[in-house]
Structure 1
Amino acid sequence: MEEQPSSCLKLLGSWASSYTHRVQLALKLKGIEFEYIEEDLANKSPALLLNNPIYKKVPVLLHRDRPVPESLVILHYIDEAWPSTLPIMPSDPYERALARFWSHFADDKLGPAVGAVFASSGEAQKAAVEQVHDNFRLIESELRDGAFKGRRFFGGDRIGLLDIVLGCGSYWLAVFEEVAEVTLLDPEPFPLFHSWLKDFEGQEEVKEIIPAFDRLLEYAKGVRHMMLSTKANSSTAAGSPVGNCASESSSNTSVTVTAPTDQLGEN
């Protein structure tokens, strides 16, 4: 017997985390009530460390105090745990496989490419922008001639798993464009993907989840300034007499400093 949504469902997340937004949107679309608990990722709570001891990241879904970490795993879980609510996964096995494949593409290829644009400058940034455009060309091709041709959303007539995965994060593109002074999603070469994103962002459930642009912009400016400053300091240290001694420490610092971009994601 399917369990009814109740107060025994909790979500540990971060306001800026696109991965947290994925879970929030899926729960909202399915009409499942839950308690949201905001995490300070600079000072992670004992509850987060206890319930995700391997990755120590948000989001984590607690269902009757049983933890389910990682956004894609959570999305599959809630769709299976509450099958009578609006499904986010296709019923056809091949369509489900497509949704899973392109969701992994978003996390393994597109996301890191966008992150590289945000974290770099100069020639490195130009190369990163081109990598993003290469990924967009693949998606645009699928929308124009491939598996998703003629669809309003990747899930068909309504938002599905792949829409959630691609959409929760794509709204950062406009923020990154302003902060990094680049053009990522140009409607001229990518008209179908651009149109899809505008339609996605216009949905009431989505608008209730996405933080205000100005808040995202202020946050991103601070993160990018810190990242580039740390990278510059690391380069200076590498050129000094103590550069070799400091290299391991600098590398560890770089990992720490890039962690705020995980708040745009986490897992």
Structure 2
Amino acid sequence: TPCLVLLRKKLSSKSEPERGCLSTRRSMAAAGGIEVKLIGAWPSPFVLRARIALNLKGVEYEFLQEKFEEKSELLLRSNPVYKKIPVLLHHGKPICESMIIVEYVDEAWPAAGRAILPADPYERALHRFWASYVDDKWFPSMFGIAKAETEEAKAESAEQAWAGLKLLEEAFEKLSKGKAFFGGDTIGYVDIALGSYLGWAKVIERMTGLKLFDEEKTPLLAVWAGRFCAHEAVKEVMPETEKLMEFAKMRLGK
């Protein structure tokens, strides 16, 4: 069983909470008695999306770390349909599904930081399209590399992943308009969708010896990946590659 199988698992029950914050400027969520909590687990790329969005908006939140043995009562109450993380709790009301949470954060704190989605309806549609492509098409091919049982299957999935990144390279060139991120000057919707997988992409590269974000195949994305991971909203919450590797070994007994 490959490492990335854990990405499909529902990581579960609550342990010690921690504060999710970048700096003292993150006070907007506390104003007026607003309460924000995030139910999640540190290895999950989907939880990472919510954390990055909250960080971009400067929202102070409490991170409720789920254990892996059993699902917490809070999680089961908050997401009775899918019973999985992440779940954002805002004034006690649950918001589920990672990219829905990202949009909610953008809309709930419109004056905090830069907008995550563009204001223009057509531009918004384009960003949503490419974020959906990342999840529906590109991630399965990356996941396929990890779960491949033969070299032939691994090579086929790798070719699909590279082809997908080539399309995303072209999308980056169009959406970024020559700037640093898909979102322009700062991290946006597609950046969060694709960037949340970078930690596990590095794990797959270590596991297989393949280079996914290749400077020759996709030079713009290769530079973007480093820039994304170094961003203030990301670097504090992006799991370290070694830590992810150890987690995978522990969970899979490898």
- In structure 2, the residue matched to 1:123 is 152
Q: Does 1:54 align with 2:44?
A: no
| Matches for 1:12-161 after TM superposition, within 5 Å | 12-86=39-113, 87-121=115-149, 122-144=151-173, 146-161=174-189
More relative contact order, 1 or 2 (CA 8 Å, 6+ apart) = 1
Tell me the SS of whatever aligns to 1:100: helix
Distance 1:133 1:95 in 2: 25
- Deviation, structure 1 residue 41: 3.6
Is this contact kept in 1: 2:75–2:87, CA < 8 A? yes
- Deviation, structure 1 residue 5: 7.2
- In structure 2, the residue matched to 1:215 is 243
Tell me the SS of whatever aligns to 2:225: helix
Q: 2:195 aligns with which of 167, 175, 185?
A: 167
Is this contact kept in 1: 2:48–2:238, CA < 8 A? yes
Distance 2:145 2:252 in 1: 10
Amino acid at match of 1:137: K
- In structure 2, the residue matched to 1:253 is none
Larger Rg: 1
Cα distance change on mapping 1:77 and 1:143 into 2, 3 Å: closer
Is this contact kept in 2: 1:5–1:33, CA < 8 A? no
Distance 1:76 1:203 in 2: 20
Tell me the SS of whatever aligns to 1:192: helix
Distance 1:30 1:55 in 2: 27
Is this contact kept in 1: 2:40–2:64, CA < 8 A? yes
TM-score between both structures, scaled by the size of structure 2: 0.82
The answer for unaligned runs of 5 or more in structure 2 is: 1-28
Identity %: 41
* Residue deviations 1:59-106 (CA, integer Å, cap 9, x gap): 000111111000111111111111111221111111111111111111
Distance 2:43 2:188 in 1: 22
* Greater percentage in helix: 1
Is this contact kept in 1: 2:117–2:124, CA < 8 A? yes
Is this contact kept in 2: 1:176–1:220, CA < 8 A? no
TM-score between both structures, scaled by the size of structure 1: 0.78
The answer for unaligned runs of 5 or more in structure 1 is: 227-267
